[in-house]
Structure 1
Amino acid sequence: MPRLTSSHRAWIDEAVRRVEADAQRSADTHLHVVPLPGEPGVDLYLKDESVHPTGSLKHRLARSLFLYALCNGWLHAGSTVVEASSGSTAVSEAYFAGLIGLPFVAVVPAGTSPEKIQLIEWYGGRCHLVDSAGEVYETARRLAAELGGHYLDQFTYAERATDWRGNNNIAESIFDQLSREPHPVPSWIVVSAGTGGTSATIGRYLRYRRYPTRLLVADPEGSAFLDGWEQDVSTATASGSRIEGIGRPRVEPSFVGGVVDEMVRVPDAASIATMRWLSGRLGRGVGPSTGTNIWAALGAIERMRAVGETGSVVTLLCDGGERYRSSYYDDAWVAGQGIDLAPYAAVLAEYESTGRLRPPA
């Protein structure tokens, strides 16, 4: 690690100015009301993170990670920035690396959507492909050492790089935007976990502000987070998620189970069918992790309605569907994964007509 010389300090000052200026040019993301079938009483809101400059929720994380690394003195002029990612974080980090004039290498699984790889490269990054999600960590660490660069390590630093007390984090933004709504303090906030940084930020903020809002984390098939949370261990492992951007083969260091009120397993078929269903209702494509979020949110709403509870539920639109045209929106690709959407598509069609969500037996 280089000593903090006057020239290094000057370079950091300019890099931080560029990152902060970029944030100043960007407006906050929108909070949409999602019209639901059935009896009124519970409002569903969708925080649209796809409108960030790099098109996903990970734009917030990438900005925080770069500021954290810069202010710790870990980056310097000429550093090669390296990250392990399933795609969207690397897209955003390639953008910020270019903003401050540094080369960027993303270590991503070979199954990452071609659209994400193209975006990483479009922003000036280079992709290093590995066979499985479990290989990204050590490969990224090794490449950073070989290149004399810095491994950002989102899976370790996501929960500490964001100021969870406020400073326009996503939780503070949600509550500000809800302040004039019929139910300004939501009953549930529903998110999924990739690094765990977003759930950690929101959960800590809820406790810091003493809100009664409960945090529900939706975990896809093949992810270790739910098992680790239920067993209260950090050593749980799993096969790995097929829903890009969320779920991990291990419990990541940034996942803070103590701030989570409830977790639920979401089948891959439910994530994809709900992604397509929501896209039809919105008139625009959303990504599969948004489908995971919405399926879990609809389940929470169904439980509220069953006991006559009114209120609001908030979840996230993580990224747009244009990144997944050749995968989750392609029927042949989905069938090739052995995923049958028909049972969940039928459930959602019934939900449209009756206003009741009855998952397959």
Structure 2
Amino acid sequence: MPKTSTEDRAWIDEAIRRVDADANRSADTHLHALPLPVDGIELYLKDESVHPTGSLKHRLARSLFLYALCNGWVGPTTTIIEASSGSTAVSEAYFARLVGLPFVAVMPASTSTEKIALIEFYGGKIHLVDDAGQVYDEARRLESGCDGHYMDQFTYAERATDWRGNNNIAESIFDQMQAELYPIPAWIVVGAGTGGTSATIGRFVRYRRFPTRVAVADPENSAFYGGWESDRSDVTTCVPSRIEGIGRMRVEPSFVGGVIDEMLHVPDAASIAAMRWVSNILGRAVGGSTGTNVWASLKIIERMRQAGESGSVVTLLCDGGERYLGTYYNDRWLAENGLDIAPYARKLEEFAGTGDFTD
């Protein structure tokens, strides 16, 4: 973007005011206590589905817009471009409309039709690619072909959010936990899509000197687990993740492995079984990444139980299940994708009755 003019600076000021005003109109997200048949251990779900755009990515999109505006990368004629599997694009389309800018989402062709419809509802345009690994280069190509700015969530997620506080998700969790039986979580469990959430929470707990440990739950076909385990950033996979919103074919630049205490690999069928299990408990549908988070949380809780430890575990309800009615909630889709959730569903039912989650 060329040197900022007086007129452009005035537009940027107004755009920032609109984004801040939108945040002021939004209440904090809820923290739900999920009943467990385990004495001395509590599990909480931070419900990010209640954001205006229905997912955890609303926080990221707001931060990315503020970061780009304050850096002078976005002006009154800029086309916003993002590479996204869905939820980030939904939220960025919302903020682009809020400040009056066009938005284009570069997405894998496998993205759920429900997410595509939401992006279009907010005025965004869809640019589909057959190979999920092509989204980055295609977004850059589109950026160079117009007066555009590629938001690049996978690079800027970890630096666009102020991890010291300023109402980030970590500060919100600890504020809401203050009156609970175990106010300082023993563990916080999250998935990784960009790596921005795990980086923010991991840095925050270290900065505030909390003993809380941070675990990342990673689905099948994701490079994050292998990259973290081998301490390499060049790990890649050949097949995209089936759990939308988390898991990537490469270790993204925003993934900060040094602030993560543990990673857990979660089978996709286990994620979907846990998603349905939580949905039945809450009485409303949640998304697949929530199932990934919950399955990993229960593995950690089982370890705590066996060690005779007490405390709290906090994880994220990332988005609502209405975005996945044609996939994760569709038994025919599961069969077509070779996903047998029955063994994992039985394990969850046994846990509900006995409190035992051993393998």
Superposed pair shares fold, TM > 0.5: yes
Deviation, 1:358, is 3.0
Letter in 1 for 2:126: C
Residue of structure 1 in register with 2:246 after alignment: 246
Q: Deviations over 1:291-327 (max 9, x none)?
A: 0000000111111011110000000000000000011
Residue of structure 1 in register with 2:141 after alignment: 142
1:155-194 correspondence to structure 2 within 5 Å:
155-194=154-193
Letter in 1 for 2:166: N
Counterpart Cα distance in 1 of 2:314 and 2:195? 17
Counterpart Cα distance in 1 of 2:22 and 2:278? 31
Counterpart Cα distance in 2 of 1:2 and 1:317? 41
1:303 partnered with 2:272: no
Residue of structure 1 in register with 2:323 after alignment: 323
Deviation, 1:249, is 0.1
> 1:224–1:240: 8 Å Cα contact kept in structure 2?
no
Counterpart Cα distance in 2 of 1:2 and 1:97? 20
Q: Deviations over 1:119-176 (max 9, x none)?
A: 0000000010011221110001101111221000000000000000000000000000
1:206 partnered with 2:210: no
* 2:145 counterpart SS class: helix
Residue of structure 2 in register with 1:222 after alignment: 221
1:128-139 correspondence to structure 2 within 5 Å:
128-139=127-138
Residue of structure 1 in register with 2:106 after alignment: 107
Counterpart Cα distance in 2 of 1:158 and 1:177? 24
Letter in 1 for 2:65: F
Counterpart Cα distance in 1 of 2:11 and 2:215? 41
Counterpart Cα distance in 2 of 1:242 and 1:204? 28
Letter in 2 for 1:19: V
Identity of aligned residues (%): 72
Counterpart Cα distance in 1 of 2:157 and 2:120? 23
> 2:108–2:128: 8 Å Cα contact kept in structure 1?
yes
Counterpart Cα distance in 2 of 1:48 and 1:353? 25
Q: Deviations over 1:189-222 (max 9, x none)?
A: 0000000000000000010000000000000000
Residue of structure 2 in register with 1:277 after alignment: 277
Deviation, 1:4, is 1.2
Deviation, 1:240, is 2.2
Residue of structure 2 in register with 1:41 after alignment: 40
Counterpart Cα distance in 2 of 1:267 and 1:261? 20
Counterpart Cα distance in 2 of 1:104 and 1:144? 11
Counterpart Cα distance in 2 of 1:53 and 1:358? 38
Residue of structure 2 in register with 1:288 after alignment: 288
Structure 1 consecutive aligned stretches of length 4 or more whose deviation exceeds 6 Å: none
Letter in 2 for 1:20: D
Residue of structure 2 in register with 1:337 after alignment: 337
Q: Deviations over 1:70-91 (max 9, x none)?
A: 0000001111000000000000
* 2:216 counterpart SS class: strand
* 2:189 counterpart SS class: strand
Counterpart Cα distance in 1 of 2:358 and 2:218? 19
Counterpart Cα distance in 1 of 2:77 and 2:334? 42
- TM-score norm. by structure 2 comes to 0.99
Counterpart Cα distance in 2 of 1:270 and 1:58? 23
Letter in 2 for 1:236: V
